[in-house]
Structure 1
Amino acid sequence: MHGEIPSSFFNLANLIELDLSSNNFSGVIKSDMLLKLKNLETLVLSLNNFSGAIKLDVLSKLKNLTMLELSNNKLLSFSSDDGVNSTFQKLETLYFSSCNVQQFPNILRSAKILRYLDLSNNAIKGSIFKWESKGWERLFYLNLSHNLLLSLEQFPGENLHILDLRSNLLQGPLLAPLPPSLEEFWISNNNLTGKIPPSICNLTYPQILDLSRNYLGGIIPKCLGSSSYGPRIINLQKNNFKGKIPDFCAYYNGLINLALNDNQLEGPLPRSLINCTFLKFLNLANNKLNDTFPRWLGALPALQVLILRFNGFHGRLNISEDIRPSFSSLQIVDLSGNEFIGVLPTTFFQNLNSLKHARNLSELVLQESDKEGLTPLYALHFYDQVSVNVTWKKSEMELEYIRTLPIFTAIDFSNNRFSGKIPEAIGELRTLEVLNLSHNSFTGNIPPSLGNLVELESLDLSSNNLSGEIPSQMTKLTFLEVLNFSHNNLVGSIPHGNQFNTFENDSYYGNLGLCGFPLTKQCGNGEGPKPPAPKRKEAEGSPVAFIWKLVMMGYGCGVVLGRDLNCGRGRVFGRIAFIAVADITDAIAVIAGIAVVNFTLLIVYCGYSGFRQ
């Protein structure tokens, strides 16, 4: 529906609930006309194109109104004359996200029983003063993320369970004391400094703690690891924390996601992590950790993502003989930029069971929902997602990976000192999408079994000592978008057909014995393989090198369920090339720098909308 709200709606005097969301209504909301709906309890006008200023003081005369949802009307704001003398007697829920709000409405101070307040994704400036949060004493959920707030004088109320202050301009030390009732605390992407206050240890029932992307420093409080009931999700990445990693799971094994990457942490990994039997995501990248390969983590049955890149890990990649299979659930492993040496053990790859079998994403949704006793829709949000940054020629494309709905798999062992032959067993990992073994000292031939990696989209074997010919089986990789065999000792004719007709000279640079298309050097018979028919010129963002990293994302991000749609040449990482955002509140959100107090599910797959709430 479009245009203004039909006047006939306002004649339904006995109407209790009016939901006109997700239409194309426009114009000014006629607050005076709404007063005719004197029995109205729920008013939902979100996801439209309303503009102007809605008169909240007029709406307050709807004495039975308990829920007011006006989100996602980007030109809509509050009237400047919504005086404090007006009172919402029964209003419990106010959603005014993604509109044109620039200040807190005065009428909020008179909404005495307000429990759910969402003013996220607006342009509210300045500070939250003590008087500003008066009347918010009963708040259970408060979302002020993605605004322009500079400071917070006090936390509103004494019963706050979910607080989202992400992506503001908050500065100075973290306000203390924290309300003991807090279960989910999101304050990432600000300018906070100083240390984590001791009151963090007084939280009664913490679930999610996200302090990432600030300038916090000092030692990570021991209580986060040793308390009898700690958070299930801890995201402290991209700060300035130093010292050793606390003994996580010393007394509580409920930790599911731990992101401590991009800090200044040092020393060995705490062996207490072996007790984290529910741990699925562990990111310790870009620190100063010094240890051997933590083979004992292979006993964790749920571990799906292990990122140790750019630390001081060293020694051989030994696998525990006492754990069988070891790392059986692993889907992403990144050991790049360390000092690992020796031959890659075949058993490591043989144990990666989750990378061997095709995945039916819809079945996984049902499995996860059944396991946790959730609806299939909410199961998507109960678990976390991370982002994968792919470096293209002149741009970055951000891709999504859902941890428990595995649509992205990768192995990155680059920039180490591994040697010997590349194990044939890697060819058994049929769902692998990224393989990077570059900048090592591998020798021997490229295993023909790599031609079995039918899902592979990026393969980088550059800067090794590989020899022999490129196996013709590699042309079966019809989804391959990034290929780099440069700086080896390869010889013979370059295979042609399928994706191999699309790669350019830089994929083979530094292999003097190679010949045939796309190189100018012809093969010994005087005829190189004929080049393919002229193809459409690629956009400037066409990928040539693949460097990926994993970072926790704040909740409110989208998810992907689409599968195997062709997007451009190959798939161009098609299954995961998207970013989706959303906004509808759910009171409970759990898991991983991500979950879900605030969402409207939008699922996009190469422009395809495959699932909608």
Structure 2
Amino acid sequence: MRLDGSIPASIFNLSSLKAIVLGDNNLSGELPYISSVPNLEEIFLWGNHLSGNIPDSISNITKLKILELQRNSFSGLIPNALGNLQFLERLTLRSNHLTTKTSSNGWSFLDSLTKCRYLIHLDLSLNPLGGVLPPSISNLSISLLQFEATACKIRGNIPMEIGSLNNALALDLSVNELSGSIPTTIGRLKNIQLLDFSGNKLQGSIPHQLCGLKGLYKLSLATNELDGPLPVGLGDLIALRKLNFSSNKLHSSIPLSFWRLKDILEVDLSSNYFSGSLSLDIGNLKVIIHLDLSRNFLSSDIPSTFGSLHYLQVLLLSHNRLQGPIPESLGDMMSLAKLDLSNNNLSGVIPKSLERLLYLNSFDVSFNRLEGEIPKGGCLVNFTA
């Protein structure tokens, strides 16, 4: 059963109360005025239908450490009074209708949060904040581990001061209107594990300083306007498991060093201008499960070493200039579920070895120069020309 109705003001009169846990209910209405709750440390009101402003009086909860208001309908300005919560560790305002006062210096409330010296987690995502990221982001808590502001309508450049968040583990600024280049100071984020700038209007080349972030697990710069070659040092990111540079203007050949990422799980370089050949070293990616190189200008034969990628589930090579036969060794990719080789210059026949791919449910080799019949056995029995 889920609770409904409004939150009674009397709940904030309980002097011994340490936590309010009312997440994932059907509560509605506005937050009442809060006088003084001397021992309250945690508020979980996520996933309700609460609306109205976040009251300035919330700063009267002087010992508050956790405030989770995500997935509600709060509106109005994010109050500067949040900066008075000197013990605040987690602030989650995701998925509301909150805004902020903007100026040439950026968000005023962010300036106030620089007083929260214990802040570890800050999530502002999916609010129409607008404005620009202020240089004062460098003054956020040295304890800050996670900063998320996806889909907030942020415009302007990523400030150079972003590099001062040198203890951050996760930085997500995806799906905004950020422009300009990626600042080279990004190389100071030595502890970063997740970096997502996808879905913006970023330009210029990928800074080589990214290649010094040895703890990086996920890196996404997809759907921007980045150009230039891939940095040679990407192959040194030994912790990297997920990489997405799709839908940019990146060009040149894929450097041989890239195929040193032997522990990577997902790679998406689709919809760019990469050219040249696919290296035999692609077989080094022994644990990869998703590889998308479609919509480029790759022009070599398909390397036979693909056959050693036994965990690969999705292989997308369509809309390139690949030539030669489909290698028999593709039949050794025993986990393969989706194979798209369409719109290339492949020739010869479809190898019978593909009948061994027990999990294959999507297979496209259209718009090539193939001949002969589709093999009729195994997983190919239901496919037609």
TM over 0.5: yes
Matched residues in 2 for 1:460 and 1:275: separation?
Answer: 29
Match of 2:277 in 1: 316
Match of 1:200 in 2: 162
Match of 1:289 in 2: 250
Matched residues in 2 for 1:267 and 1:468: separation?
Answer: 35
- 1:50 Cα deviation after fit: 1.0
**1:76-91 alignment runs, 5 A limit:** 76-77=27-28, 82-84=32-34, 86-91=35-40
The residue type paired with residue 109 of structure 2 is Q
Matched residues in 2 for 1:444 and 1:211: separation?
Answer: 42
**1:373-412 alignment runs, 5 A limit:** 408-410=289-291, 412=293
Compare relative contact order (CA 8 Å, sep 6+) and give the higher one, 1 or 2. Answer: 1
- 1:96 Cα deviation after fit: 0.4
The residue type paired with residue 259 of structure 1 is S
CA contact (8 A) 2:30 2:51 kept: no
CA contact (8 A) 2:174 2:196 kept: yes
The residue type paired with residue 158 of structure 1 is C
Matched residues in 2 for 1:90 and 1:126: separation?
Answer: 28
Change over 3 Å in CA distance of 1:125–1:221 after alignment to 2: same
CA contact (8 A) 2:254 2:274 kept: yes
**1:350-499 alignment runs, 5 A limit:** 351-354=284-287, 408-410=289-291, 412=293, 415-420=296-301, 422-442=302-322, 445-497=325-377, 499=379
SS at match of 1:282: strand
Matched residues in 1 for 2:358 and 2:261: separation?
Answer: 34
- 1:438 Cα deviation after fit: 3.1
| 2:59 corresponds to 1:109 | yes
| 2:22 corresponds to 1:50 | no
Matched residues in 1 for 2:211 and 2:321: separation?
Answer: 39
CA contact (8 A) 1:111 1:135 kept: no
SS at match of 2:51: coil
Listed one character per residue, the Cα deviations across residues 546-575 of structure 1 (whole Å, up to 9, x for unaligned) are: xxxxxxxxxxxxxxxxxxxxxxxxxxxxxx
CA contact (8 A) 2:277 2:298 kept: no
Matched residues in 1 for 2:172 and 2:238: separation?
Answer: 21
| 2:24 corresponds to 1:72 | yes
Change over 3 Å in CA distance of 1:141–1:297 after alignment to 2: same
The residue type paired with residue 140 of structure 2 is P
CA contact (8 A) 2:150 2:175 kept: yes
Give the alignment's TM-score, normalised by structure 2: 0.84
Match of 2:217 in 1: 256
| 2:372 corresponds to 1:500 | no
Matched residues in 2 for 1:162 and 1:445: separation?
Answer: 52
The residue type paired with residue 70 of structure 1 is L
CA contact (8 A) 2:44 2:69 kept: yes
SS at match of 1:102: strand
Match of 2:140 in 1: 180
Q: CA RMSD in A?
A: 2.9
Matched residues in 1 for 2:313 and 2:345: separation?
Answer: 23
Change over 3 Å in CA distance of 1:201–1:484 after alignment to 2: closer
Match of residue 216, structure 1, among 178, 182, 198? 178
CA contact (8 A) 2:15 2:39 kept: yes
Matched residues in 2 for 1:462 and 1:218: separation?
Answer: 35
CA contact (8 A) 1:154 1:175 kept: no
Match of 2:127 in 1: 168
Q: Which has the higher helix share?
A: 2
CA contact (8 A) 2:275 2:299 kept: no
* Paired residues, number: 371
Match of residue 60, structure 1, among 12, 22, 31? 12
- 1:289 Cα deviation after fit: 2.9
Matched residues in 2 for 1:440 and 1:312: separation?
Answer: 10
Change over 3 Å in CA distance of 1:255–1:472 after alignment to 2: closer
CA contact (8 A) 1:459 1:484 kept: yes
- For structure 2, the residue ranges without an aligned partner over 5 or more in a row are 101-106
| 2:92 corresponds to 1:143 | yes
Change over 3 Å in CA distance of 1:446–1:176 after alignment to 2: closer
Change over 3 Å in CA distance of 1:498–1:234 after alignment to 2: same
- 1:461 Cα deviation after fit: 2.7
Matched residues in 2 for 1:216 and 1:306: separation?
Answer: 24
Change over 3 Å in CA distance of 1:459–1:134 after alignment to 2: closer
- 1:107 Cα deviation after fit: 5.1
Change over 3 Å in CA distance of 1:297–1:494 after alignment to 2: closer
Which segment is superposed worse, 147-156 or 433-442?
Answer: 433-442
Match of 1:99 in 2: 48
CA contact (8 A) 1:129 1:153 kept: no
Match of 1:123 in 2: 73
Match of 2:116 in 1: 158
Give the alignment's TM-score, normalised by structure 1: 0.55
Change over 3 Å in CA distance of 1:429–1:115 after alignment to 2: same
SS at match of 1:438: coil
The residue type paired with residue 76 of structure 1 is L
CA contact (8 A) 1:255 1:276 kept: yes
Change over 3 Å in CA distance of 1:427–1:153 after alignment to 2: same
Change over 3 Å in CA distance of 1:113–1:302 after alignment to 2: same
SS at match of 1:500: helix
Q: Which has the larger radius of gyration?
A: 1
Change over 3 Å in CA distance of 1:241–1:478 after alignment to 2: same
The residue type paired with residue 459 of structure 1 is L
CA contact (8 A) 1:458 1:481 kept: yes
SS at match of 2:206: coil
The residue type paired with residue 354 of structure 1 is V
- 1:177 Cα deviation after fit: 0.9
- 1:120 Cα deviation after fit: 0.2
SS at match of 1:291: strand
Matched residues in 2 for 1:241 and 1:217: separation?
Answer: 4
- For structure 1, the residue ranges without an aligned partner over 5 or more in a row are 1-24, 26-48, 319-344, 356-407, 509-613
Listed one character per residue, the Cα deviations across residues 509-559 of structure 1 (whole Å, up to 9, x for unaligned) are: xxxxxxxxxxxxxxxxxxxxxxxxxxxxxxxxxxxxxxxxxxxxxxxxxxx
Matched residues in 1 for 2:55 and 2:29: separation?
Answer: 7
- 1:72 Cα deviation after fit: 0.4
